[in-house]
Amino acid sequence: MVTGKLQVKIKNDDITAFEQIFREFYEPLCLFALKIVEDKDVAEEIVQEFFYRYWENRKQMEIKISLKSYFFQSIRNNALKYLRHESVKQKHASFVAHNNAQQSYFPDYAEKELQTIIEEVLQSLPERCSMIFRMNRFEELTYKVIAQKLSVSVKTVEADMGKALKAFRNKLTEYQGYPVVNQKNNTR
């Protein structure tokens, strides 16, 4: 099979083979993604991101099905993931809009107190942990981008985010007046 030979060449860093596969599949994959996401720009972005990741991970990939099937299955999964993410964003926006409508219920002093607590938690964290939290939550960077910028692994970013979130949960639970229950030592 021609694409099988091209796949071997791509694994061996043959950019010409990659370009050939890209030219062959780009348009059909964009049309396929468009049927799912119903937005041409988003469909093209999904396909471009897929090809970028395919090239970046070419050495580690072990594709057990036909390349064409793999490409279409991947695009389908990525398009559905995008739709799920958009659904979550819409629900969040609705939630925020609802809460903003009730913002007068949340006094200014409470908001300032909450900001103070957030800063206290961030100050109490190790520097890298705090920086990773700020980059993810305030600058909206992905774990992968943060890992690249800080020259650490994605697992390190995940671990530091876990530490930060745990510190926030503990502090905010105290703020709400509820005791923090340690799951490991809970004997009830």
| The domain boundary residue, chosen from 88, 114, 140 | 88
What is the mean predicted confidence (pLDDT) over 1-30?
87
pLDDT in tens, 80-92: 999 998 888 788 7
Q: Are residues 8 and 51 in the same domain?
A: yes
CATH number at residue 77: 1.10.1740.10
Please tell me the distance from the alpha carbon of residue 106 to that of residue 104, in angstroms, as a whole number. Answer: 5
Segments forming the whole domain that contains residue 43:
2-88
CA dihedral 68, 46, 74, 79 (to 10 degrees): -120
Is residue 93, in this structure, part of any structural domain at all? no
Secondary structure string (H, E, C) spanning 151-165: CCCHHHHHHHHHHHH
Q: Which residues contact 121 (CB under 8 A, 6 or more apart)?
A: 164, 167, 168, 171
Predicted model pTM: 0.50
What is the mean predicted confidence (pLDDT) over 55-78?
90
More confident residue, 148 or 5: 148
Report residue 106's pLDDT band, with 50, 70 and 90 as the boundaries: low
